A and B are shown apart, each in its own frame.
Chain A
Amino acid sequence: MKHYGEDDLILYYYGEAHRQAEIERHVGECRDCFTSYRTIAGTLSLVVEPAIPERTDRYGLEVWQRIRHQLPEQDAPWWIAWLRWDRIALAGAAAALVIAAFVAGLWSRPQPARPASLQATDMPADSGARVRMAAISDHLERSERVLLDLLNAGAGTIDVRDEQVWAADLVGANRLYRQAALRAGDTMVASVLDDLERNLLDIVHGPSKLTPADLEQLRVRLDAAALLFKVRVLHDELRERETAPASPRKTI
């Protein structure tokens, strides 16, 4: 008999499980799953909404009185913002840098000829590449959350078992994505994923309770590797590639 895990039962509790009716039937028949579900439901039933302080009809006016003298300048619509001369100059400088880096790369690193089948996957229009980019982009976002949760943890000794479980889930996926990126010749993506994997493994195999000193050490290590920065930049880059029209991929 297939049993349902905690996550399935939580989704079932909220009416969001994919197989809602199936789980309902199973929970009715299986003592173990019934017990698990009962403890989840029992705990969540304790979490009742706190009484929300009343606000009268005049509240909106009170809020307005508080903010009316602080109203900031409105941001211009994005297309107007991008037409400002300083942005154009900045974009021009950035484009010049990218072109310079591209040309320098061509001169300093002659590329061996690659099979035509491999080159075809470089096109973002390729559905396989797009799927891979979307999956890696989602993976990077999840990884960033784990790292941020750890880095923003409060004072005192903290229990990071949940973060370790989450990081362990990410390591498996990370390995697959890194290998896929290498196969596709995407060395930049593979390199960031390699860094990420090593740091995730450090978290998984590190202590479950972090003292402030451990946490500081972790912060220093992540800062030194500029990992969060790399993850964010790559995440943005992949998002751009996902939405970009078919064109040859940038080489950084």
Chain B
Amino acid sequence: MDASEAAAVLARARQGDGEAFRALVERHSRSVFRLAFRMTGNEQDAEDVVQESFLRAYRQLGRFESRANFGTWLYRITANCAVDMMRARQARHDQARGETLEEGAASVCSDQAGPERLARSAEIQRQVEDAMADLSPLERAAFTLRHYEGRTIEEISRTLGLGTSAAKHSVFRAVRKLRAALEPLAPAAAAPRARARQEP
């Protein structure tokens, strides 16, 4: 679909043409799912976010400025749907979480070799997931956009509708919490060089 065709489809969708909206759904679903999964870390939640994002986008199409980029607009809607989803599930997740990080850290920090390295890697991954689940929805969203999506602080603030300073602080707070939870597992190797900004 070229740019003029995409613009025509979008214009029809804004007039309530269901088939045109279907074309947009088919075109953007996979990228919406990828973002939703990165932000929620859970397949079922990601599916719910995909669904809710498209329904919200359809409802708000009248407010969409045709000069703007639909993908960027949808990205913002998805990120915010994911934050809402994480807020809703936070309490239930807090209660479901079991073992303490300290217990896990003791087991993975011991010397291990051979096939046990795989188990150690899986254990680290589990602890990373636990530590991510400990972040507030906003911290997790800001951190995901910065760390996985390679978005700048400026872009994060626009996506989540925050001030630049609030977006920056959300990332700082997330990193602080992750450090507190994961530092015992961190490799003591030489420091990697600073990451260049990833292109989204």
Which B residues form the contact surface with A (CB < 8 A)? 14, 16, 18, 21-22, 25-30, 33-34, 37-38, 41, 43, 50-51, 54-55, 58-63, 87, 90-91, 93-95, 124-125, 128-129, 132, 136-138, 146-148, 152-153, 162-163, 165-166, 168-173, 175-179, 182-183, 185-197
Closest 8 CB pairs of A and B: A60-B26, A154-B94, A42-B186, A38-B191, A60-B29, A138-B163, A63-B29, A43-B186
A11–B28 Cα gap in the complex (Å)? 31
Task: Give chain A nearest CB distance to B42 CB in angstroms.
Answer: 10
Q: Are A142 and B166 CB-contacts (below 8 A) given A6-B176, A10-B171?
A: yes
**Are A162 and B177 within 8 A (Cβ)?**
yes
**Are B147 and A44 within 8 A (Cβ)?**
yes
**Are B91 and A154 within 8 A (Cβ)?**
yes
- A57 to B, closest residue via Cβ: B30
Task: Give chain B nearest CB distance to A236 CB in angstroms.
Answer: 13
Q: Are A142 and B51 CB-contacts (below 8 A) given A37-B191, A39-B186, A162-B177?
A: no
**Are A47 and B185 within 8 A (Cβ)?**
no
What are 6 A-B contacts with C-beta separation under 8 Å?
A37-B191, A45-B187, A46-B124, A50-B41, A53-B43, A154-B90
Which A residues form the contact surface with B (CB < 8 A)? 6-7, 10-16, 20, 24, 27, 34, 37-50, 52-53, 55, 59-64, 66-68, 70-78, 80, 138, 141-142, 145, 149, 152-156, 162, 166
Partner of A67 from B38, B55, B179, B183 at Cβ < 8 Å = B55
List of B residues within 8 angstroms of A39 by Cβ: 179, 183, 186
Partner of A64 from B25, B152, B185, B197 at Cβ < 8 Å = B25
Task: Give chain B nearest CB distance to A23 CB in angstroms.
Answer: 8
**Are A42 and B187 within 8 A (Cβ)?**
yes
- A53 to B, closest residue via Cβ: B43
List of A residues within 8 angstroms of B62 by Cβ: 74-77, 80
Task: Give chain B nearest CB distance to A82 CB in angstroms.
Answer: 12
**Are A42 and B50 within 8 A (Cβ)?**
no
